[in-house]
Structure 1
Amino acid sequence: MTVPSAPQPAVATPPARTAARMWRRWWRSLSPNRQDRFAALAPLAAVLLFLAAIVAAFWYLRVEEADREQEALRRDVEYAQQRVRLRLLERQEQLMRVARDLTNKDMELPQFHQRAESLIGQYPELQAITWIDETGKVLASHATPTIASAQVRVAGEVLRKGDTQAGFALSRSTQQPVYSQPAFKEGEPAPLLQLQVPLNAQGNFAGVVLGEYSVENLLRYGTPTELLARYAMTLLDSKGEVLAGVPLAPRERNQWMPWSRRTNAYEVPVSPVGNNLVLRAQAYRTSLGLVGSGLFWLVGALSAMTAWMLIATWRHTRRRMQAQQALVQETNFRRAMENSVLTGMRALDLNGTITYVNAAFCQMTGWSEEELVGQEPPFPYWPEADHEALHARLQDELSGKSIPGGFQVRVRRKSGTVFDARLYVSPLIDARGRQTGWMTSMTDITEPNRIREQLSASHERFTIVLEALDASVSVAPLGSAELLFANKLYRQWFGSQTDGHLQLVAQAGVLPAGDSGHPSDEDPLMGLPTDSLTSAHSENAEIFLPDLGKWLEVRSRYLSWVDGRLAQMVIATDITQRRLAEAQAARQTERAQSVSGLITMGEMASSVAHELNQPLTAISNYCSGIISRIKSGQITEAGLLAALEKTAHQAQRAGQIIQRIRDFVKKSEPKRQRADAEQMVAEAVELAGIELRRNNVRLTQYVAARLPSLMADSILIEQVLVNLMKNGAESIANASRPPAQRSVELRVVPRQIDGVDSVEFSVQDTGKGLAPEVLERLFEAFFSTKEQGMGMGLNLCRSIVEAHQGRMQAENIYNGTEVTGCRFTFWLPLAAPATDTTNVVANTESPRTTA
């Protein structure tokens, strides 16, 4: 019995062998041309990789060198900072000893000067030592002779505002030494670093000892000499301004040398001063590094030359391969182009035999290339009825008498249908310059002919429509006296010349006439009047032509004519009947205004009678009293004169009431002239006051002082105000308001509406307001909410306001959701621009209340 052998484990294929197998498979799948192309690229890739390795090594060395320089700079700057810090702490300790002696009163003013002079002379960075009491007053100060006069402190002066005073306050609050750096401006002396050491007398602040350091000397004597020789050392304030030292000029990175670096710099704040004093060092450039190495540039140049030679060889090989493929591609392209064009091509030899036809020609006629090549006239695609004409045309074609613009013929398809075609003939020249035949191109023009016929019919219909219009239509090019188009009505009115067109344009102002003789009025490229085009009006214009005796509405627009010229079309419509109707409506409105005044006075008749009854009764009583006293002999001459004066005054009052009513209801032509708003309000209030008193309504009027004059008809505006105030009184009476709430408010103030200076008139009542459906139809003619109303009052009021170029509106007044009244407002423009709007608004009268 045989024992079956155990299965052998599968041996894993190494990744390298798998990659090599895939590489060979991919290489064999390429065409020979591509294999040659990749083989030529291999040396170039090797050279580029070598150059990349050189650049990477150089870059790594440059980074290492920069890191070493930066680390050395950081150590040196920190060492210099420690030296400056120790020097500041030593001076601080010495000033604290001075402060302790002053606090313990172990030092008087002479000793203070001696100690300060000794310290300043011993340490060059100390420029001044000042003793200041708790109020900020300088008690004593000693400074070096080299300090600027503006920085010298004099005994008896008080600290000035600035960083010194801020440090003084901070030292008072913290009871600790405080460093500060005063701000400075260009042109001022070099700033001094300040140290304020507080004086503490038994726990109380007794002033400070102010020590001022020269930042320049601090940098010079506090920084080691070897560091000053190696670096450009500077001291900066918190804003980055240079206090001492000379910084290096900034060195920007060169875009052509990406390995170049900016100036190597490092900065650190100086303690105990803090961020107000920063020490910065900038390293001088001491070596060129690897950039100046000739070996690097030599290797780079050799690599670049090798790469250039490989690229040139590769490009030369590619050009040869492209030249070999050009012939095949050109042949295929020409064949594809001939088969894709929609124009049929046919070649004839000098005897008239067909030698070539393309696919489009075969598709048009329905015959194949084998059926047509070699055929002699008559050709199978000639219609039988046109054989003689086509024979004659072919003889002209062979003899060179071809028409440059081509000729139209009929062509028969193999199916028997006929279509229209246009043929173009040109000589066929070979490569040696000899004519070998004739080339004919054929285009199917059946569809263009159909479209042309439709366009002709459409043009005819369009012309008929324009001729039947009841408006004059004319088209003329700009800058020319030629009339491009004119319909029937234009020819009836103006004839066949452009005079009528130009007259309409000039009189309507749709294109202002310019002086074509001035070059500045013309576009130098087109010769068109640019002034006229930019200032033309787009709205309609209404003009009157005395020659025709008609009113015409003229509209204009610009269009591009069929020949590319810019033309102007003018449409003139006869609106004589409409203007007559508008004039008649205006006369009717004027009569309605007079009737409205009469109706208003009729409604106020009882109130007017009551007003006249008062002065007449007074006159009667005065006369009766005079008569009785004369009869009894109990009147003196002075008493008689007084009674007669009162009688005359009452008679004048009655006459004024009658004259005012007569002026109000008198029919006259509207006269718009300069009118005073305050006077119009006063006269309207006088008339409306009768109706207000009858309804027990209080009137409050508010008129701004020094209002500018209006260009208005005073009687018409007074009629509007009287009507609005009377309607307000009636609304209050219908609402049955209590006496405290029965008031009408009249306000007249200046306003600016849509950028136009105007005067606003508003009448507000405390009635029950207007319903929403009433507000929508409030100003319609013959619409009224009164049982006996005609519905003409508010309509006429709005017509009067709009005739004065104003506007009118109405709105309800709400208190929460409750309607507490109604306000009517209208605006009238000023007669002239206001000269002092400030006085108009500021100087206002106080409200005046009349019962």
Structure 2
Amino acid sequence: MLSRFDFKGALRRTLTPLQRLAATWWRRQSPSRQDRFATLGPLVSVMLFLAAIILAFWYLRNEEIEREAEAVKRDTEIAQQQIRVRLNENQEKLVVIARDIVTRAIDPQEFGVQARAFARERPEVTHVTWLTNRRDRRASVSGAGFQAENLMVLDGGDPSMPSGNPGTAPEIAFQAAKERRQVVYSQPFTDNNSTSVFQVQVPLIDRTGFAGVLIAEYSIEALLRYYVPTEVAGRHAVSVLDAREQVMASTVTPMPGQRIKRASIVSEVPLAPALNGLVLRGQGYRTSIGLISNTLFWMVVALSVLTVWMLLGTWKHMRRRMQFQTALANETNFRRAMENSMLTGMRAMDMDSRISYVNPAFCAMTGFSEAELIGRKPPFPYWPPDRFEENARLLQQEIHGRSPAGGAEVKVMRKDGTIFDARMYVSPLIDPKGKQSGWMTSMTNITEAKRVRDQLSASHERFTTVLEGLDAAVSVLSVQQGELLFANRSYRLWFGADPKGHAMLAGSQLSRSKDDPDADDEVDDYSGLPAQHLTEVGSDPREVYIEGLEMWFDVRARYLQWTDGRLAQMLIATDITARRRAEEQAAQQAEKAQVTSRLMTMGEMASSVAHELNQPLTAITNYCNGMVSRVRNDAIQKDDLLAALEKTAKQAQRAGQIIHRIRNFVKRSEPQRQASSAHAIVEDAVELAGIELRRRNVAIHTYVAQRLPTLMVDPILIEQVLMNLLKNAAEAIDNAALPVSRRHIELRVVPKHTAELGGNIEFSVTDMGPGLPDEVIERMYEAFFSTKSDGMGIGLGLCRSIVESHHGRIRAENLYNGASIVGCRFAFTIPVELSRPEPSGPALNTAATP
């Protein structure tokens, strides 16, 4: 008997190289892959079996279809041949009759005898007619063999008669026979009896030429009935179709209102020898059921699918088993790696307090090896000698389940004698049967954490000391509960421990009752967050006045997450009462400076004002003296007296208007913003400045754009700015002793829109003076800086303050012609909404001359 090794060697010698290669490849595969291939083999076999069954059914079905198609084609050709033979015989007989007519061997009476014999033997012929070349009927015999006087009459409306209408089938055939001198078959048409027919027309050619035609009309339905063999009609449906594939006649009569569906097997041949567009179609149907309707096929498919499903289920089960095995191995390796890599020490004890397991981290913490700890009972070698009793007591608490939930803080001694702080957590060790088998203890080194905690505690104390020493009030309030979480000394000094102080500073209403239905609008019930975006509140500073304390606070707020996870709001309120009072005093001083500036302006214009008032007063004196003289002399009429009085009143009104405008300009009043028109402001400013301009012989040109929006400004202050700019421009021109061509000022008011400022109205004053040096442009807004020998240096500074108080901008620039300065331009803007224009009058565009 051969040994097992001898048998393997003999088997290896009998294998071919390909088989040995396959065996080597199989041995190299893992067991899981071998199981997978072992499962895929039957699956592939079943799929190949199902494919073979489907191919067999498909092949048999195609064989049947090919046999049926050959049979249909053969029967169609047989029917074509039978009809062709019959039509050829009839055509030959008609040619003989036509020859007798042409040779005058027969007259109409004898023609009737031959035509009756011809029609009686041929049931497919409906009638035989002899027509002249003028379409006159010489004789006509119906299919029954009788003379038909009303048949083929030219004026009778018979569709079978070539009536001369070029669109009818008989007329087309008549013209073709006349031209070709050959036998012609007409296109199919419907006769008086609603029967589908076609004609064969034999031309009559004598010595004089075309003498007429001999017409035989065929019924298509009769051709199929009499000349399609009975066995062919019994096997397949045969029909005649026209050029539009409309069925003219068929061996199968459909049910009324239904159409015959096109068969799956069709064979078509032309209706020879007519060749007039008629097609003979044979139709066949499969006698066996299709592949989809085959019950045996579906049984095979169902069994194959069931087998595949079972194989797939087995494969998935094996795959899940391998996955579970792999997952279990990975989990075991993961837990072992986690235990070996974690910094937390793990220790397991049995019910007798004997150590049964320690991980590498526990050994690394204590310095003892696993062999030195496994199997040891209390006292353990890592207990400090001076803490045996304390550790024994803690161990008894652990065994009896009274260990603190937050763990116990203990001292642990390393093998080298050093001691560190640790925290131990104990939990019962339960086996798979639910029975406790010991205790599991986790230990962490908290020496560094304890040091950090002490440092944090000290840092917290320092931080609290700093906050308590701040002059600003710092408070933190819970958004959901409205609870004051923190308040420093300044807050408690001003508001006590009441959260209402926080609410007053934040501008909210935390004192609102919970039953108030409007309270839901500010807080979201689901998350407890403010309904409005927190960024809308932001950290922008706000100034809040507390009436009870009569103090102003600069309040900055932000949202933060409190130590317990609650959303809280922190406020820092700084006392700015002293600063607010200083600002109020500065505002009062600025108001006084504005009034002083206006008074100074009018003081400088005093001589011009006196000259301006002197004209109407002189005119009034002259008018009064003239009227007194003429009244004394009784040399004045009533109308002249009234005219003189009206002129006197007009001059007095003019003087009053001058005084009224000057009084409104210089009087002291609180700034009052109101809806004002740029047109009116410019008119008042130009009228006041006109006095100074005329005195200095300077012209002014004014342009105000149409449909400017309404300005929300203090008109007196804006007039003061325009007055100052116009007066400065006039002084610059006059001091430079410029010629008349350059002694003019341009005042323009136009709307503008920029990306930086948005919509605004721009007031610009342009002069043709010598301009300003660069060092003056840099310092001209400084207080008490002036280029005039008698100037106080507060005019442009006030102008800038007035414009910026209206949220506008003011700027100055020199105008250049090449490298030389040809003028100066002052411009300031007032913000407005340009989308809502003011319905004003036409643009102010005036020119004033000195």
1:128-147 alignment, distance < 5 Å: none
SS at match of 1:484: strand
**What letter corresponds to residue 359 of structure 1 in structure 2?**
P
Q: 3-state DSSP class of the match of 1:794?
A: helix
Structure-2 change in CA distance of 1:640 and 1:61 (3 Å) = farther
Change in CA separation of 1:293 and 1:807 when aligned onto 2, cut-off 3 Å: farther
Distance in 1, Cα, partners of 2:441 & 2:475: 46
Deviations 1:771-812 (A, max 9, x none): 666555554444445555443222212322333454444455
Q: Give the corresponding residue for 2:701.
A: 700
**Alpha-carbon contact 1:345-1:440 (below 8 Å) kept:** yes
CA contact (8 A) 1:512 1:536 kept: no
Alpha carbons of structure 1 residues 429 and 760: separation in structure 2 relative to 1, 3 Å: closer
Are residue 37 (structure 1) and residue 58 (structure 2) matched? no
Structure 1 residue 561 and structure 2 residue 558: aligned?
Answer: no
Q: Which residue of 2 aligns with 1:112?
A: none
- Kindly provide the CA deviation profile for residues 198-220 of structure 1, in whole angstroms up to 9, marking residues without a partner as x: xxxxxxxxxxxxxxxxxxxxxx9
> How many Å apart are 1:412 and its aligned residue?
0.8
Distance 1:314-1:453 versus aligned 2 partners, 3 A rule: same
Contact 1:784 1:790 in 2 (8 A): yes
1:352 aligns with 2:373: no
Secondary structure of residue in 2 paired with 1:599: helix
Cα distance change of structure 1 residues 624 and 338 upon mapping to structure 2, 3 Å threshold: closer
Residue 601, structure 1, aligned to residue 602, structure 2: yes
**In structure 1, which of residues 796, 799, 804 is the aligned counterpart of residue 798 of structure 2?**
796
| CA deviation after TM superposition for structure 1 residue 223, in Å | 3.8
Alignment of 1:313-328 (within 5 A): 313-317=314-318
Identity of aligned residues (%): 57
Conserved in 2, the CA contact under 8 Å of 1:511 and 1:537?
no
List runs of 5+ in structure 2 lacking aligned partners.
1-14, 66-162, 170-240, 251-284
2:226 is the counterpart of 1:225: no
* 1:524-571 Cα deviation digits (max 9, x unpaired): 324566369797576433232232221122232222222222222222
Query: Offset at 1:588?
Result: 1.2
Q: Is the 8 A contact 2:503 2:509 kept in 1?
A: no
Map 1:618-633 → 2, pairs under 5 A: none
Output one character per residue of 1:613-652: Cα deviation in whole Å (capped at 9) or x when no partner: 5456666777888999999x79757888877876776566
Check conservation: 1:510, 1:556, Cα contact below 8 A.
Answer: no
Say if 2:763 is the partner of 1:761.
Answer: yes
> What is the 5 A alignment of 1:651-662?
653-654=654-655, 656-662=657-663
User: What whole-Å deviation, never above 9, does each CA across 1:822-847 have from its counterpart, x for those lacking one?
Assistant: 444444567xx99984844xx51462
Query: Aligned in 2, Cα 1:799/1:316: closer, same or farther, shift over 3 Å?
Result: closer
User: What does residue range 1-150 of structure 1 map to in structure 2 within 5 Å?
Assistant: 23-48=22-47
Does the C-alpha gap of structure 1 residues 357 and 503 become closer, same or farther in structure 2, counting only changes over 3 Å? Answer: same
1:393 matched to 2:413? The reply is no
The structure-2 alpha-carbon separation of the partners of 1:301 and 1:766, relative to structure 1 and needing over 3 Å to count, comes to: farther
C-alpha separation in 2, matches of 1:345 and 1:620: 120
State the partner residue of 2:186: none
Partner of 1:158: none
CA distance in 2, matches of 1:402, 1:717: 83
Give 1:745 shift: 2.5
2: CA distance between counterparts of 1:665 and 1:53?
115
Gaps of 5+ in 1: 1-15, 66-117, 125-219, 230-285
Distance 2:577 2:624 in 1: 65
- How has the CA–CA distance of structure 1 residues 119 and 56 changed in structure 2, closer, same or farther, with 3 Å as cutoff? farther
SS in 2 for 1:611: helix
Counterpart for residue 503 of structure 1: 504
Aligned match of 1:547: 548
Instruction: Answer yes or no: is the 8 Å Cα contact 2:480–2:567 preserved in 1.
Output: no
Distance 1:40 1:341 in 2: 43
Amino acid corresponding to residue 847 of structure 1 in structure 2: N
Show the counterpart of 1:383.
Answer: 384
Q: Is residue 708–residue 838 contact of structure 2 (8 Å, CA) maintained in 1?
A: no
1:493 aligns with 2:494: yes
Q: CA deviation at 1:427?
A: 3.3
Cα distance in 2 between the residues matched to 1:819 and 1:227: 106
Deviation at 1:585, TM superposition (A): 0.7
Assess if the C-alpha contact under 8 Å between 2:710 and 2:838 holds in 1: no
Code of the residue aligned with 1:458 in structure 2: it is S
User: Structure 2 matches for 1:385-784, cutoff 5 A?
Assistant: 385-431=386-432, 433-505=434-506, 508-509=507-508, 516-518=515-517, 520-521=520-521, 522-526=523-527, 530=531, 536=537, 539-612=540-613, 614-615=615-616, 653-654=654-655, 656-673=657-674, 675=676, 677-703=678-704, 710-733=711-734, 738-748=739-749, 760-767=762-769, 769=771, 779-784=781-786
| Secondary structure of 2:559 counterpart | strand
Query: Structure 1 counterpart of 2:766, which letter?
Result: Q
CA distance in 2, matches of 1:57, 1:724: 108
Q: What CA distance in whole angstroms lies between the structure 1 residues aligned with 2:701 and 2:59?
A: 94
Q: For residue 484 of structure 2, give the secondary structure of its aligned residue in structure 1.
A: coil
Q: What is the TM-score of this pair, normalised by structure 2?
A: 0.62
Q: Which amino acid aligns with 1:849?
A: A
Question: Secondary structure at 1:416's aligned position in 2?
Answer: coil
TM-aligned CA distance change 1:121 to 1:488, over 3 Å: farther
SS in structure 2 of the partner of residue 582 of structure 1? helix
Using structure 1 for the length normalisation, give the TM-score. 0.62
Residue 696 of structure 1 aligns to which amino acid in structure 2? N
Distance 2:59 2:848 in 1: 100
With over 3 angstroms needed to count, the CA separation of the structure-2 counterparts of 1:825 and 1:512, relative to structure 1, is: farther
Question: In structure 2, what residue type is equivalent to 1:41?
Answer: L
Conservation of the 8 A alpha-carbon contact between 2:704 and 2:750: yes
Amino acid at match of 1:570: L
Alignment RMSD:
4.8
Alignment partner, residue 73 of structure 1? none
SS at match of 1:530: coil
Instruction: Judge conservation of contact 2:630–2:636 (CA < 8 Å) in 1.
Output: no
How far did 1:460 drift?
Answer: 1.1
- Is 1:559–1:568's contact at 8 Å kept on the other side of the alignment? yes
Are the aligned partners of 1:425 and 1:438 in contact in 2 as well (CA < 8 Å)? yes
Q: 1:731 to 1:20 in 2, by over 3 A?
A: farther
Q: Which residue of 2 is the match for residue 361 of structure 1?
A: 362
Q: Give the 3 Å change call, closer, same or farther, for CA 354–837 of structure 1 in structure 2.
A: closer
Query: 2:500 touches 2:510 (CA, 8 Å); kept in 1?
Result: no
Question: How many residues are treated as equivalent by the alignment?
Answer: 626
Asked if the contact 2:624–2:648 (Cα under 8 Å) also holds between the matched residues in 1, the reply is yes
* AA at the equivalent of 1:364: M
Q: Give me the whole-angstrom Cα distance separating, in 2, the residues matched to 1:326 and 1:541.
A: 62
- Partners of 2:485 and 2:465 in 1: CA distance: 17
| In 1, Cα distance between equivalents of 2:462 and 2:683 | 68
Distance 1:622 1:676 in 2: 38
Report the Cα distance in structure 1 between the residues aligned to 2:297 and 2:775, rounded to whole angstroms.
96
User: How far is the alpha carbon of 1:371 from its aligned partner?
Assistant: 1.3
Partners of 1:691 and 1:500 in 2: CA distance: 58
Equivalents in 1 of 2:347, 2:444: separation in Å? Answer: 12
Could you give the per-residue CA deviations for residues 116-173 of structure 1, whole angstroms, max 9, x where no partner exists? Answer: xx9999689xxxxxxxxxxxxxxxxxxxxxxxxxxxxxxxxxxxxxxxxxxxxxxxxx
Q: Which amino acid aligns with 1:478?
A: V
**More divergent stretch after superposition (656-665 vs 420-429):** 656-665
SS in 2 for 1:847: strand
- The CA deviation string for residues 386-406 of structure 1, in whole angstroms up to 9 with x for no partner, is 122122323333444433332
Q: Which amino acid is the alignment partner of residue 802 of structure 1? A: E
How far apart are the structure 1 equivalents of 2:583 and 2:303? 98
Which residue number corresponds to residue 373 of structure 2? 372
CA distance in 2, matches of 1:120, 1:535: 93
